[in-house]
Chains A and B, each alone.
Chain A
Amino acid sequence: MDKRVLIVMPAFNEEDNIRGVIHGIRSALKGADILTVNDGSKDATSLFASMAGSAVIDLPYRLGYGNALQTGYKYALKKGYDYLIQLDADGQHDPCSLPALCDEIKKGAHDIIIGSRFIKYTYNPPLARRIGMVLFAKIGSFMTRQGLTDPVSGFRAFNKKAIRLFCTDLFPSDFPDVDLIIMSKRAGLKIKEIPVLMHPARNGKSMHSGLKPAYYIFKMILSIAVTNLRRVEREKEEA
């Protein structure tokens, strides 16, 4: 039987972008199911996603990016999907990179494939964000003892083993970025980066705006520290 793939997109007030992204996914990757996790949007995100042919989970109120993603993981686990690819609904992550991610995870050599915006393509975020990204890439590379260029990328593919791990309460639900990668590494999962194409956020709104970057940096450093202190049960090899 063909292995089943689910594309998960957390979306918060993305009525302008969601249809375009879903159509992009449809034409880039045929045969994959699409799930939009509507994170308590106040606009027509849910309706537009469903009209474009995506399955939709409507969260009754906003749980945040990480928790919306985890909802997608839990759905995938429940429905028995073999692979999951996540991308943002704001059009930042170009669906044309989906087949590459999908092929790589299907090879079975790795449990997590990270789509890195820095390997092949150029991507120029504002200076402050760039510094943050480089800093976290260095921390991530150091902690995982693996050269990572973009561990904060939200464009990732997982296999069942990774999905199962992320459905537990160990999942860092605020901003699952570097700490998630470190936790996965400690759990014995294999990680690989491949190049993907990313665009600058279309309408300039990122989830890191206002006072959030300060909290983000504080939370991430604390989270990285405690992830390393925490006991993570290593995933048993599947028979």
Chain B
Amino acid sequence: MTYRQKIFAILISAILMVIIIELVRRKKLREEFSWLWLSAGFFIICLSIWDFILIKFANLMGIMTPVGTILFFLIAFVFFIVLHFSIKISTLTDQVKNLTQEVAIIKSLSDNTGKGQAWRQGL
């Protein structure tokens, strides 16, 4: 890895981490999600500083350049985070469904014992 590549990778990761921490500070991002992004940034900084690890990985996986390896890790990371979000969305959909059902049932029970029934009898 050339110095330029190293500095560039470290700079980008550092900016990413600062943005994430700022978002958490402003309560725009939950801590729950931030750790994934932070660990990604930290991982890239580590790999950029100690690029022999990167070269080892590149050799191991048959990738020609260390930069290619970084790209590979990035794509893998994005894949996992999107999967993580899909799981989260599924959970949220279930929770919203259960809440909606619960609220509708409670609302109907209070309506049917009071106003609704009286109104029907009046018909």
Interface residues of A (CB under 8 A from B): 50-51, 53, 55-61, 63, 67, 70-71, 74-75, 78-79, 169, 173
Contact status B104-A67, CB under 8 Å: no
Q: Mark B65-106, 1 if CB is under 8 A from A, else 0.
A: 000000000000000000000000000001001101111110
Contact status A63-B100, CB under 8 Å: yes
Instruction: For the complex, give the distance between the alpha carbons of A84 and B57 in Å.
Output: 61
B27 at the binding interface (Cβ < 8 Å): no
Q: Mark B100-123, 1 if CB is under 8 A from A, else 0.
A: 111111011101100010011001
Contacts of A79 in B (CB 8 A): 109
Interface residues of B (CB under 8 A from A): 94, 97-98, 100-105, 107-109, 111-112, 116, 119-120, 123
Instruction: For the complex, give the distance between the alpha carbons of A169 and B96 in Å.
Output: 12
Q: Which 4 A-B pairs have the closest CB atoms?
A: A57-B108, A71-B101, A57-B104, A59-B104
Contacts of A60 in B (CB 8 A): 100, 103-104
Contact status B120-A75, CB under 8 Å: no
| Interface residue from A53, A71, A74, A169 paired with B94 (Cβ < 8 Å) | A169
Instruction: For the complex, give the distance between the alpha carbons of A60 and B104 in Å.
Output: 7
A to B contact number (C-beta, < 8 Å)? 47
Contacts of B94 in A (CB 8 A): 169
Give the shortest distance, in Å, between B48 (CB) and chain A (any CB): 42
Contact status A71-B105, CB under 8 Å: yes
* 15 further interface pairs, Cβ-Cβ under 8 Å (given A50-B120, A57-B105, A78-B105): A50-B119, A51-B123, A55-B108, A56-B108, A56-B111, A56-B112, A57-B107, A58-B104, A60-B100, A60-B104, A71-B105, A74-B101, A74-B105, A78-B109, A173-B97
Contact status B108-A61, CB under 8 Å: no
Give the shortest distance, in Å, between A61 (CB) and chain B (any CB): 7
Instruction: For the complex, give the distance between the alpha carbons of A75 and B106 in Å.
Output: 9
Contacts of B111 in A (CB 8 A): 56
Contact status A51-B120, CB under 8 Å: yes
Contacts of A56 in B (CB 8 A): 108, 111-112, 116
Contacts of A78 in B (CB 8 A): 105, 109
Contact status B104-A71, CB under 8 Å: yes
With contacts A51-B120, A51-B123, A169-B94 taken as known, whether A58 is within 8 angstroms of B108 at the C-beta atoms is: yes
| Interface residue from B100, B105, B123 paired with A75 (Cβ < 8 Å) | B105
Which of A53, A71, A173 gathers the greatest number of chain B CB atoms within 10 Å? A71
Closest residue of chain B to A59 (Cβ to Cβ) is B104
Instruction: For the complex, give the distance between the alpha carbons of A61 and B101 in Å.
Output: 10
Contact status A75-B108, CB under 8 Å: yes
Closest residue of chain A to B111 (Cβ to Cβ) is A56
Contacts of B116 in A (CB 8 A): 50, 55-56
With contacts A59-B100, A63-B100, A173-B97 taken as known, whether A53 is within 8 angstroms of B120 at the C-beta atoms is: yes
Query: Can you report 15 A-B residue pairs in the complex whose CB atoms are below 8 A from each other?
Result: A50-B116, A50-B119, A56-B112, A56-B116, A57-B105, A57-B108, A60-B104, A61-B100, A63-B100, A67-B101, A70-B101, A71-B101, A71-B105, A74-B101, A75-B108
